[in-house]
Structure 1
Amino acid sequence: MLAGGRPLAVRVVELAAALGHTLAEPLVALTDLPAFDTSAMDGWAVAGPGPWHEVGRVLAGERAGPLADGTAVVIATGAQLPPGATGVLRREHGRLDRGLLRGSALVPGQDVRPRGQECRRAEELLPAGRVVTPAVLGLAAAAGHDRLSVHRRPTVELLVLGDELLDCGPPRPGLVRDALGPLLPPWLAAAGAELIARRHVRDEFGLLRDAVRRSPADLVVTTGGTAAGPVDFLHRALAAAGARLLVDGVAVRPGHPMLLAELPDGRHLVGLPGNPLAAVAGAVTLALPLLAALSGRPAPAHRIEPVGVALPGHPSDTRLLPVVRTGGGVAPLAFDGPAMLRGLALAEALAVVPPGGLPVGGRVELLDVP
Structure 2
Amino acid sequence: MSTSPMNRTTTPGRGDPACPAVDWERAGELARESAGPPLPAVTRGLAEALGHALAAPLRALTDLPPFDTSAMDGWAVAGPGPWRPRAGGVLAGEEPGPLGAGTAVRIATGAPVPAGASAVLRREHGEIEESTGLLSEHPAGTAVPGRDIRPRGQECRTDDVLLPAGTTVTARVLGLAAAAGYDRLAVHRRPTVELLVLGDELLDSGPPRNGRVRDALGPLLAPWLRDNGAELGCRRRIPDDPAPLRAALRDSTADVVLTTGSTAAGPVDFLHDALAATGARLLVDSVAVRPGHPMLLAALPPASDGRPRLLVGLPGNPLAAVAGTVTLAVPLLRRLGGHTDAEPLRTAAAAALPGHPRDTRLLPVRRTDRGARPLPFDGPAMLRGLACADGLAVVPPGGVDAGATVEVLPLSAG
TM range (shorter): over 0.9
Bigger shift: 31-40 or 59-68?
59-68
Superposition map of 1:98-109 within 5 A: 98-104=132-138, 105=141, 106-109=143-146
Sort the Cα spacing of 1:341 and 1:109 in 2 relative to 1 into closer, same or farther, 3 A. same
RMSD, aligned α-carbons: 1.6
CA 1:323/1:35 → structure 2, altered by over 3 Å: closer, same or farther? Answer: same
Q: State the identity %.
A: 68
Opposite residue 348 of structure 1, the aligned amino acid is D
Q: CA deviation at 1:327?
A: 4.9
Question: C-alpha separation between the residues in 2 aligned to 1:151 and 1:233?
Answer: 34
- Which moved further from structure 2: 236-245 or 252-261? 236-245
- 1:307 Cα deviation after fit: 2.9
Q: Is the 8 Å Cα contact of residues 5 and 290 (structure 1) preserved in structure 2?
A: no
- 1:15-37 CA-to-partner distances (Å, cap 9, x unmatched) read 22211111111111111111111
2:260 corresponds in structure 1 to 223
CA separation of 1:44 and 1:268: change in aligned 2, threshold 3 A: same
State the Cα distance separating 1:363 from its structure 2 match: 3.1
1:289 aligns with 2:331: yes
Which amino acid is the alignment partner of residue 303 of structure 1?
L
What is the CA–CA distance in structure 2 between the aligned matches of 1:297 and 1:149, rounded to whole Å?
Answer: 13
Matched residue, 2:39: 8
Matched, 1:369 2:411: yes
Counterpart position of 1:85: 117
In the alignment, what sits opposite 1:260?
297
Change over 3 Å in CA distance of 1:139–1:304 after alignment to 2 = closer
2:353 equivalent in structure 1: 311
Cα displacement (A) at 1:326: 4.5
Deviates most, 328-337 or 4-13: 328-337
After superposition, the C-alpha distances for 1:137-162 in whole angstroms (9 at most, x for unaligned) are 11111111122110001111111110
Distance (Å, rounded) in 2 between the aligned partners of 1:194 and 1:336: 30
Q: CA, structure 1 residues 22+327, in 2 after alignment: closer, same or farther (shift >3 Å)?
A: closer
CA offset at residue 114 of structure 1? 0.7
Please list the CA deviations of residues 191-226 of structure 1 after superposition, one character each: whole Å capped at 9, or x if unmatched.
101111111111111111111111121111110011
Quick check: 1:301–1:367 contact (8 Å CA) kept in 2?
A: no
Partner of 2:27: none
Per the alignment, residue 199 of structure 1 pairs with: 236
In 2 relative to 1, CA 329–142 (structure 1 residues): closer, same or farther, beyond 3 Å?
Answer: closer
How much does 1:300 deviate?
4.4
Q: What SS does structure 1 have at the residue aligned with 2:33?
A: coil
Which aligned pairs between 1:90-169 and structure 2 lie closer than 5 A?
Answer: 90-97=122-129, 98-104=132-138, 105=141, 106-169=143-206
Taking CA–CA contacts closer than 8 Å with sequence separation of 6 or more, which of the two structures ends up with the larger relative contact order? 2
Alignment of 1:225-264 (within 5 A): 225-264=262-301
Out of 385, 398, 403, the position equivalent to 1:356 is 398
> Is 1:71 matched with 2:107?
no
Cα distance, 1:314 vs structure 2: 2.0
Q: Residue 305 of structure 2 aligns with which residue?
A: none
Structure 1 unaligned residues grouped into runs of 5+: none
Structure 1 Cα separation of the partners of residues 66 and 373 of structure 2 = 51
Tell me if 1:30 matches 2:57.
Answer: no
The match for 1:17 is: 48
2:216 matches 1:179: yes
**Aligned equivalent of 2:78, options 25, 41, 47:** 47
Cα distance in structure 2, aligned partners of 1:204 and 1:361 = 49
TM-score by length of 1: 0.95
78-87 vs 305-314, greater mean Cα deviation: 305-314
Q: Tell me the SS of whatever aligns to 2:196.
A: strand
AA matched with 1:356 = G
Which of 308, 312, 326 is matched with 1:270 structurally? 312
Contact kept? 1:308, 1:361, Cα under 8 Å: yes
Secondary structure of 2:92's counterpart equals coil
Is the Cα–Cα contact under 8 Å of residues 14 and 146 in structure 1 kept in the other structure? yes
Which of the residues 356, 365, 370 maps onto 1:323?
365
Amino acid in structure 1 at the alignment position of 2:347? E
TM-score, reference length from structure 2: 0.86
Amino acid at match of 1:102: S
Counterpart AA for 2:49: A
Residue 90 of structure 1: CA displacement? 2.1
Secondary structure, aligned partner of 1:199: strand
Structure 2, unpaired ranges of 5+: 1-31, 303-307
